Chains A and B, each alone.
Chain A
Amino acid sequence: MSNIAKAFENGKAFIPFITCGDPDIATTEECIVEMVNAGASLVELGIPFSDPTAEGPVIQEANIRALSAGTTTDTVFELVKRLRNDRGIKVPMVFMTYANVVYSYGADRFCQNAKDAGMDGIILPDVPYEEKEEFTSVMKNYDLDLVSLIAPTSEDRIAKIASEADGFIYVVSSLGVTGVRNAITTDIPTLCSKIKASSKIPCAIGFGISKPEQAKEMSKHADGVIVGSAIIKIIAQYGKEAPKYVGEYVKSMVDAIR
């Protein structure tokens, strides 16, 4: 069992996402400390990519800001080391990035550096079941979990994806890309129960969740909720002053689901 399981041991998990280096790496570091202090169970660290095809406008813009600020894969590894060694961050952390960021760096070198820095897993939205072996064959040597995604369109694919999943399963709530949504129209209870029938590992729901009431509703059907765009919006609004506001927001979401 990987460290990721620990995120789901104390009730429903709240999983915030942050784009590393937006607006700068120091602000990201403070935001993560605030999020963990506010009760985040697991943190998703986005390594920025020039062309994030699974993201809506809010996170696309965060990627541009982060890259413009000079963020690289190496500066993100350094950030993780500081969080683990100097800031006492103990909760599991996973990267969220695109296949080319890992592949171009060299999957083996990437995984070794990720493990050495203190990461627990990786989410690659452009690596489906059919292509995962190329990455998992390397990641398993470093005890890193590749988090599998299941979408409203997965249907007959759910059982095979879920039965081979590691860490947690990322349940994509809606069609389309990441971003705040007023309403989630997918039949989440049915989707989650199909997944649960094939796998014992925890499920967390993401895409479109921004408000405490939505988080509360979603958490009834799953083991955790993932929030990205709503946090990135706060960072876009407050810039370097964002950590305090991000902490307050995460606290409100954690309180809603526990």
Chain B
Amino acid sequence: MADKNGRFGVHGGQYIPETLMNAVIELEEAYNHYKNDPEFNRELTELYDEYAGRPSRLYYAEKMTKDLGGAKIYLKREDLNHTGSHKINNVLGQALLAKKMGKTRLIAETGAGQHGVATATAAALLGMECVVFMGEEDTKRQALNVYRMRLLGSEVIPVKSGTATLKDAVSEAMREWTSRIDDTHYCLGSVMGPHPFPTIVRDFQAVISRESKAQMLEKEGRLPDYVLACCGGGSNAIGSFYHYIEDKDVKLIGVEAAGRGIDTWETAATINTGRLGIFHGMKSYFCQDEFGQIAPVYSISAGLDYPGIGPEHANLHDTGRAQYVAITDDEAVNAFEYLSRTEGIIPAIESAHAVAYAMKLAPTLPKDQIMVITVSGRGDKDCAAIARYRGENINE
């Protein structure tokens, strides 16, 4: 848990321009009020259940379990949520909070487009204006999601600065928020940025582990031995871990994107290759050079293509409570195809990173061990890109 200054160990804090300070203070006060408000929680639960389709299933992947021949594998099916990923959990919470605060406009950054689509969806539902910032490179990789956001009534602004990917979209959304605070809420998509965002997003995503814990107890009568989730900024991972943190026997594994390998420059594996720094409002681990210039990271997955990691993950790493491993593009693409063929579930390329690590780990474990893998999103959005990766050109 964060301390009162928003610190997780040494990580976190509020490294933002003075112009935004009163906005984040106002947000923290509003959140502290509404998080304990029965009416707010009733409305949010209704949106989760009736609109987003929660609780998401905890599915026993029997074929995958038998094929890998080791630990028993369950999939936490966030891909079945409305809009196709875990991002809706956070967005419905923040959009409802913003509305209670009297805001009429949402802005958001997006990498793969999942958070942008979720934000555009919530804005449509709650009658709010919405502007999504997306790296120009990502608008090309995820053209279908750009169309979905526009269809939902949002404006999508391609960001050309820097590497034209997720980090630049975050920077541009922050710049936009600095220029228009009164009516606008910055609906940050991951457990990152200045306090209180890492805590707010974590709390809204914690629904994943709250459900999976109860579902596991019901199905198996005990807690799992391993929980795996892919980790860029880390929102689905922290949501998947949160209610197990105090259960020390449950091993928590975050799977980062190694890109072309953690021994190359073309990687986005922050814990594996980064060092302590201050960026995008927080102290945490970042991929950077010796002078603190943020590295132009790379992953096939637009959603994991970020040079930092949320401060709570950085602290879980420091304390040894969670382990962070890395999976390459090649391994993730193999897992994308493997889960599709084996279970008939096409995972997001982000989630395929977690599946890929499970494919390595599960065969080494005894059959009485239980593993939960969060499938954070569905992979329809990735089909054209994976086809291209395999040398096949298809129209989206």
Contacts and interface: CB of A to CB of B under 8 A. Distances in A.
Q: Quick one: which of A49, A74, A155, A177 has the most chain B CB within 10 A?
A: A177
Interface stretch (A126-134, A196-204, A231-239): A126-134
B288 A129 contact: no
Interface string A160-187: 0100000000001001110000000000
A161 B18 contact: yes
B17 A125 contact: yes
Nearest to B168: A51
Nearest to A172: B19
B53 interface: no
Interface stretch (A78-86, A113-121, A146-154, A213-221): A146-154
Interface in B274-298: 275-281, 283, 286, 288, 290-294
Contacts of B5: 130
| Binding site secondary structure of chain A | mixed
Give chain A's interface residue range (CB within 8 Å of chain B): 35 or more
Contacts of A105: 291-292
Interface stretch (A87-95, A96-104, A136-144): A96-104
Given A51-B168, A176-B178, A177-B178, A100 B288 contact: yes
Contacts of B280: 53
A51 B21 contact: no
A54 interface: yes
Interface in B250-286: 275-281, 283, 286
A131 B15 contact: yes
A49 B160 CA distance: 17
A203 to B, nearest CB: 14
B161 interface: yes
B364 interface: no
Give chain B's interface residue range (CB within 8 Å of chain A): 35 or more
Given A54-B178, A176-B179, A103 B278 contact: yes
Interface string B122-154: 000000000000000000000000000000000
B17 A60 contact: no
Nearest to A49: B293
B58 to A, nearest CB: 39
Contact of B277 (A57, A104, A149, A152): A104
A72 interface: yes
A50 B178 contact: no
A27 interface: no
A94 B267 CA distance: 36
A258 interface: no
Nearest to A60: B161
Contacts of B292: 49, 73, 100-105
Given A103-B277, A103-B292, A130-B14, A175 B167 contact: no
B162 interface: yes
A104 B178 CA distance: 25
B178 A175 contact: yes
Contact of A51 (B16, B167, B179): B167
Nearest to B167: A51
A6 interface: no
Contacts of B290: 104
Contacts of B19: 151-153, 172, 175-176
A60 B174 CA distance: 14
A32 interface: no
B334 interface: no
Given A103-B276, A125-B18, A172-B18, 17 more contacts: A49-B293, A50-B293, A51-B162, A51-B167, A51-B168, A51-B171, A51-B294, A57-B161, A100-B278, A126-B15, A128-B21, A129-B21, A151-B18, A151-B19, A153-B181, A157-B22, A175-B180
Interface of A: 49-51, 53-54, 56-57, 60, 67, 72-74, 98-105, 125-131, 148-157, 161, 172, 175-177
12 contacts: A50-B294, A51-B162, A99-B15, A100-B278, A103-B276, A103-B278, A128-B18, A130-B13, A131-B13, A153-B18, A153-B20, A175-B179
Listed from nearest, the 7 A-B pairs whose CB atoms lie closest are: A104-B292, A176-B179, A151-B19, A99-B278, A50-B293, A100-B292, A50-B294
